[in-house]
Chain A
Amino acid sequence: MNRRHPTLLAATLLPVLLQPACTETTEAATAPSCCATLEAGTDHTTPLPGDSAWQLDSPWQDQDGRDRRLADFRGEVTVAAMVFTHCVYACPRLVADMQELAARLGTPQPRYLLVSMDHERDDPATLRAFAARHHLDPAHWTLLHGDAPQVREFAAVLGVNFRRAPNGDYAHSNQLAVLDRDGRIVHRQHGLQADPTATLQVLADLLEN
């Protein structure tokens, strides 16, 4: 089912009836590349594909306070999630799910990208402390801080819904996205402690190429 087709808008309101699976893999994962002459991720001078999330060109800061653009991640297979570091329930478990992927993948590893939805409290220093607390290896993990509009935009691309509660915490959907070396979202894993089998398979395939 192509849930983006407008005539199916009404149907998307009742997804629980129509899409019981907890993971989904988009066509891009299996469709042949339109640019078959170029090996994905090897030529950074060619324009990004039209469906690449790395086209978002807002400036971010990583946990070390360095200026980063999403296009920096071109060439790497990426697992992305949105979190906020004050979260006491879901976010640590979402990070644990990503660490579980890391443990089961071995070498090579993808890039693990955590984008904070809490633009007010999650400055680079706070993100660095969170990374240390959770033993996130900086060689593979990048945490990003951005302003409110670009965070909202990134969430829209990833398909993550969130809202700020009056107490400053965030309610948000729990989701991991897998992006190929050109930043195309090829797979999503919904929910906490979901069965990672499909996600691991997608990652293994992407990392082979």
Chain B
Amino acid sequence: MDTALRTSLLLGLCCLSSDCRDVGSETAPPATAASGSTAPTPEAVDAAPGSGPVPTLARIGAAQHQPLYRDPGAPDGIPVAAFELETTPVTNARFLAFVTACPSWRRSRIASLFADERYLSHWHDDLAIDPADASRPVTNVSWFAARAYAEWIGCRLPTTAEWEIAGRADATRSDARDDPDFLRRILDWYGAPARGPLAPVARGPADVHGIHDLHGLVWEWTDDFNTALVTGESRGDAGLDQNLFCGSGAANAADPSDYAAFMRYALRSGLDGRSTARGLGFRCARTLREETR
């Protein structure tokens, strides 16, 4: 990895981990869960999977995913079936509804196995958020928590392949990766320092699928974020040491020009399931039933 690349990686990731405070959050009155009912008792159990509100999903057709690292002899693309993806990242308001229904995922109660100490640290309390945060993407959420939310609404997290297929669309094309301006816009965001509060979701125009904010707002969890065998938990970035990674000697970079995809790959490599960060959120996906593909 050359020095310039390392530098830009670190720059990009600083956006994610920098400590941005919402200017108004200290003085605004806290919002609480809007149900109007009394708070559940400490003994309350989590609501059943699939009992959460139906999300707004957009359909993305079957496509080929070109993984950044692929095995020799493997085909160029991995076929990915048509699926549905939420049109926006999950907001603080929606996540508040989730932890209201599922007490074990509240900030004060979550098991340390499932989130680090920064989990939902931008909220006022277990069930109190800044009103201005309601329409902003929820961040400071771990992979375990994102997964539990997805189950609650009868969904799952998108796979990395699905996310990357969705993420290559722009306003008019389902695959805009041949357009240098498209990649440049993504990289500009990756390189920009994160300052001030996040924008509300869906502020900008939708892409050709009707999906907002895949780029330019937050980084997003994928279900199989822990597939990277180059960096992350292990050492031996340079050598792809066979003693550390079975099968790793087989990995070849596919398209080094897709810098943005490499950045996302590197980011996911640095996470573990408990990780939370100010710039890391998620959205949900759903497998299409056979007859609707």
* B243 CB, min distance to chain A CBs, angstroms: 4
> B residues 260-277 with Cβ under 8 Å of A?
266-267, 269-277
Contact A15 B244 (CB under 8 A): no
Measured between beta carbons, the chain B residues less than 8 angstroms from A90 are 242, 246-247
Complex-state Cα separation, A159 to B276, whole angstroms: 16
What residues on A are CB-neighbors of B116 within 8 Å? 4-6
Q: Are B231 and A13 in contact (CB under 8 A)?
A: yes
From A4, A12, A52, A171, B247 is in contact (CB under 8 Å) with A171
Q: How far is the CA of A19 from the CA of B275 in the complex (A)?
A: 18
Contact of A87 with B275 in the complex, beta carbons under 8 Å: no
Find residues 215-247 in chain B having any chain A CB closer than 8 Å to their own CB.
223-224, 226-229, 231-238, 241-247
Tell me which residues from 8 to 66 in chain A have a Cβ below 8 Å from any Cβ of chain B.
Answer: 8-10, 12-16, 19-20, 22, 50-53, 55
Main secondary structure of the interface of B (DSSP, over half): loop
Interface residue stretch chosen among A128-136, A137-145, A149-157, A196-204: A149-157
Among residues of A, the one whose C-beta sits closest to the C-beta of B14 is A10
Q: How far is the CA of A159 from the CA of B235 in the complex (A)?
A: 13
Tally of contact residues, A, Cβ under 8 A: 50
Contact A89 B246 (CB under 8 A): yes
B71 x A165 contact (CB < 8 A)? yes
Q: A13-B231, A161-B227 are in contact. Are A91 and B246 (CB under 8 A)?
A: yes
Contact B251 A193 (CB under 8 A): no
Q: Is A191 interfacial (CB 8 A cutoff)?
A: yes
Given contacts A152-B224, A172-B245, contact A9 B270 (CB under 8 A): yes
A173 pairs with B234, CB closer than 8 A: yes
CA–CA, A159 and B234, complex, Å: 9
Contacting A173 at CB < 8 Å: which of B17, B19, B144, B233? Answer: B233
Taking CB atoms, residues of chain B closer than 8 Å to A172 are: 229, 245-247
Contact of B275 among A4, A91, A169 (CB under 8 A): A4
Decide if B247 touches A55 in the complex (CB within 8 Å): no
Contact of B229 among A9, A20, A171 (CB under 8 A): A171
Which residues in window 80-135 of A have CB below 8 A to B? 87, 89-91
How far in angstroms is the closest Cβ of chain B from A209?
22
Give chain A residues whose Cβ lies under 8 Å from the Cβ of B229: 161-163, 171-173
CA distance A55 to B273 in the complex (A): 15
A13 x B270 contact (CB < 8 A): yes
B250: which of A52, A155, A165 is its contact (CB, 8 Å)? A165
> Are A16 and B236 neighbours in the complex by a CB distance under 8 Å?
yes
A9 x B13 contact (CB < 8 A): yes
Distance, CA A167 to CA B74, complexed state (A): 8
A33 CB, min distance to chain B CBs, angstroms:
14
In whole angstroms, what is the CA distance A169 to B9 when docked?
31
A50 and B13 contacting across the interface, CB-CB below 8 Å: no
Asked if B83 is at the interface of the complex by the 8 Å CB criterion, the answer is no
| A152: chain B residues within 8 A (beta carbon) | 223-224, 226
Query: How many Å lie between the Cα of A20 and that of B244 in the bound state?
Result: 13
The answer to whether B269 and A13 touch across the interface, beta carbons within 8 angstroms, is: yes
Query: Which residues of A have CB within 8 Å of B227?
Result: 161-163
Contacts A50-B111, A172-B247, A174-B244; A10 near B235 (Cβ below 8 A): no
Given contacts A13-B10, A172-B245, A190-B233, 4 further A-B contacts (CB under 8 A): A12-B270, A14-B237, A171-B251, A191-B244
